[in-house]
Amino acid sequence: MALRIAHVTGHEPIALDLSERSAPIHAVQVVCPGTHSRMRRAMPR
């Protein structure tokens, strides 16, 4: 999957463990320009 993301976007993906309270970033969704989601919605409502 990482190779596909790099091929499509031109950038290597970065994985962050957001379960740690000391994580240097707070995220609510993953942004990956140039790819398509297989889910109909990004987040269930």
CB 5 within 8 A of CB 31: no
SS3 content of the chain, % helix, strand, coil (to 5): 20, 0, 80
Q: Which domain holds residue 31?
A: 1-45
pLDDT for position 8: 85
User: What are the pLDDT digits (tens) for 1-45?
Assistant: 788 888 888 888 887 777 777 777 666 666 667 766 666 555 554
Q: What is the pLDDT of residue 43?
A: 52
What is the reported pLDDT for 30? 66
Q: What is the domain count for the chain? A: 1
What is the pTM for the complete model shown? Answer: 0.37
Please give the biggest Cα pair distance in the chain: 32
| Neighbouring residues of 11: CB distance < 8 A, sequence distance ≥ 6 | 5
